Amino acid sequence: MAVRIEKITAKNLGPIQGFSGQFGSFNLVYSKNECGKTFLTEFIIRCLFRNIKRWQLRERGSGKVLLSGLDEKGPVEFMPDTGKKLEDFWESSQSGIPPSLVKLLVSKGGESSIENTGEGIGKSLIKEVFSGLSLLDRIDDDKNISRTIKSAEFDEGTINISNAGEGRAYRQSVDDIDRLERLFGELESKYPGGMLDSLRSQAKIFKSQKDKLYRAKCHEAYLISGKIKELERQLKEKDEEKLNNLYSNISIYENKKRDLEVMDSHLRELKDKCSDYEWLKKVPPLYEKFSSNLIKKPGPAIIIIAGIFVIAAIIFAVFNIMPGTVISLAAAAVLAWLYIYKLSKASGNAGTGKELSKLMASFEERTKKKLTDLAVLNEEIEQQQSSYEKAKLLQGQIEQLKRDMGALEIDIGQKFYSFLSISLNQGQWMDAYSSIRSDIGNLKDEIESLNDKLLELAVRQAEYIEEDPGIKFSYEQFEKASKNLEETSSKISDLEKESAALKQSLCYETADDITIEWEKLIENLRNKREQKQVAHKLLKAQIIAGIIVHGEISLLRNEEDNKIAEGLKSEAVLAPLVQITKKYKNLTLDKDNLVVSDDYKDYYIRDLSTGAREQIMLALRIGFSSKILKQDRLFLILDDALQHSDWERREVLVDMLAEIAHDGWQVIYFTMDDHIKTLFDKAGKSFKKSDYVCLELGS
């Protein structure tokens, strides 16, 4: 066990308005004068310990101290005015640790003394440390072993005890048992024993049969109840609500699947309707280009008119009308030239005409419509664009539907896996669902059937019996045993009525009403005798044990001084004394006074200097605590316990404290001395960063 102070939080402690600190193995709490270090020490004492009368404590303050190592569940909080204290934990754990160990763990306000005595430590504490009788003293206390028992004797099986306390109770117990034995003797002589004994034997047999059958009934009810619980557990695992949700998801999946088929079909139709949309988007500019560049061949009208003008010129020439002839020939020449010009232009655009024809033929082949003008083309484009946009929208809806179906398929698969622990494909879903649904129905039917059987047994749950009584329950045998028991009990009752006076005496003894059945009355009398006998045995054992324990403890007390002397010479005590003082090598007890010795003479501790006493008290704190705790480790709280030592000795003492901290102890030292702080900082370098903690008050 390693009990450590993990954290302290406090407020309203004199000059300390608020303090919070985590602690390691080797700790220094440093403050300037009047900054409240002793207030904080007193706060720790008030939080942790119950026996604090030896200290004159001031303000209570508020907060808590957190200790680890006391409880397997975790750290334990201690507060000034509430909760358990360390002594309570030591007493309840029966560890043998004396509550007065607190005197060794704490020094306050520069005190060097462990106890308020001239020596700085009293024999009572030394006795607790070395003799082991502190626990025995508590056992031998008058509260545990009375003075009456302590003065009694036990010789050759006979107890000789005064007629007081347990002695009076013991004699009364003997008288009670004798009186009950006389009543049983009277019962045997006055009660019609032969017949009654026979009837009682029969009743006992019938009752045993009935009890066994009833136990069998209770066991059968227990088994049925267990089977019902198991089936209900299986039914709960099936989770019908979850199964309904699974079926709903399957239905939704199937509906979505049908919707997908319809949408796929519709998409194919739309794609057919807009299959040439991309091509059609490119046609309008080509159509406009080819149409605007197309020049038709000149018609025959120009040639005819030119011919008319030639004929007119001939006529004018015949009649020798020269102006008419010239004009007609000129007009005919102009018309001939115009015809030739248009014909050459039309011949030059023959390729454009072919492209337009090819475009129109392709349009008709694709759309089954003739391309007569741009309006026809635009109308077809609008129609296919509408189908194209619908197809695009429908394609997105189909993809979303497929994603939804994928998610549903995963969810359905997971739910089936939770039911069956196997993976199923889509085609197995409904068969698996039907199988699970059938299992649930079968479970419900079986549970209902078992509940009916349980109801027929009419056994309360509190009467269920887990252990098999070895026989099978039968209604017929149970009723027969009940009837036989009832008839036999009736005969017993008739016989008991003949012994009314005896019954009255027994009722007086058992405090029963006169109407009680004989069997119950005798049972009560027997129970009372057994109770008296048990109580007598317990009281007798208590008295004998008390006499023996008290005697043994008395013998052990004679060896007390020898054990104390041996303890003071033990390595656990002398090693820190020699190491710290560098002078004193031995400890003895002169009556109630502790004596230390060097190589030359003996010294009473009260006669030593303050610094020497300070060193010895520190050594005794460490040595005595180690002796008590053996391999366990606690904490030392030292409030300027080294202030009277010279500087050279201080360094030795601080190194000693660091050494025991390395050995598992927790050291918390309070000081306002800069030199001691320097020594702690130096010694703290040998620790891990988290193990040496230096806290400064008032900073």
The mean-pLDDT minimum among 72-81, 111-120, 249-258, 609-618 falls in 111-120
First to last CA, the chain: 35
Question: Count of alpha carbons within 13 Å of 312, Cβ hemisphere only?
Answer: 17
* Tokens representing residue 204 in the block: 């006992």
Residue 665 has pLDDT above 60, yes or no: yes
User: What's the mean pLDDT in 346-354?
Assistant: 55
The interaxial angle of helices 374-420 and 277-293, nearest 10 deg, is 170
Q: Which stretch, 319-333, 369-383, 606-620, 652-666, has highest mean pLDDT?
A: 652-666
Binning pLDDT at 50, 70 and 90, where does residue 684 land? very high
Average pLDDT of the segment spanning 152-168: 75
Query: Strands, DSSP E only, in 302-416?
Result: none
Distance CA 505, CA 186 (A): 10
Domain ranges of the chain: 4-122+612-697, 133-238+438-558, 254-407
Closest CA to 4 of 665, 688, 695, 681: 665
What is the residue type of 360? M
Q: For the chain, give the mean pLDDT.
A: 79
The mean pLDDT of 243-267, rounded to a whole number, is 87
Give every CB contact of residue 553 below 8 A, 6+ residues apart in sequence.
Answer: 133, 136, 137, 139, 140
* pLDDT score recorded for residue 125: 62
Residue 412 · residue 429 · CB < 8 Å: yes
pLDDT in tens, 594-642: 888 988 888 887 788 777 777 777 777 777 777 776 656 788 888 887 8
Helices and strands in the chain: count of H runs, count of E runs: 23, 14
d(CA 128, CA 134): 5
- Provide the CA 371 distance to its chain's centre, in angstroms: 82
Say how far apart CA 67 and CA 88 lie, in whole Å.
14
Q: 25 versus 177: which is more confidently predicted?
A: 25
383: phi then psi, degrees, rounded to nearest 5: -65, -45
Split at pLDDT 50, 70, 90, the class of 28 is very high
CATH class (in words) of the domain with range 4-122+612-697: alpha beta
Give 191-249 pLDDT, tens digit per residue: 665 677 787 888 888 888 888 888 888 888 888 888 988 888 887 877 778 878 888 88
Residues 654-678 have a mean pLDDT of 90
pLDDT of residue 235: 79
For the ranges 129-143, 161-175, 575-589, the lowest mean pLDDT is seen at 129-143
pLDDT band at 59 (very low <50, low <70, confident <90, very high): low
Per-residue pLDDT tens for 431-441? 888 888 888 88
When mean pLDDT is compared across 64-73, 393-402, 487-496, 556-565, the lowest value belongs to: 556-565
Q: Which class for 225: exposed (0-12), middle (13-18), buried (19 or more C-beta within 10 A)?
A: middle
Percent above pLDDT 90 for the chain:
8
pLDDT digits (tens, 9 = 90+) for 455-468: 888 888 888 888 88
- Cβ atoms of residues 418 and 203 within 8 Å: no
Is the Cβ–Cβ distance between 671 and 28 less than 8 Å? yes
Question: Is 349 a residue whose pLDDT tops 60?
Answer: no
pLDDT at residue 96 tops 70: no
| pLDDT score recorded for residue 676 | 92
Amino acid 557: pLDDT = 63
pLDDT tens-digit readout, 115-156:
555 555 655 666 665 555 555 666 666 666 777 776 677 777
- pLDDT score at 350: 45
Mean pLDDT of 354-360: 79
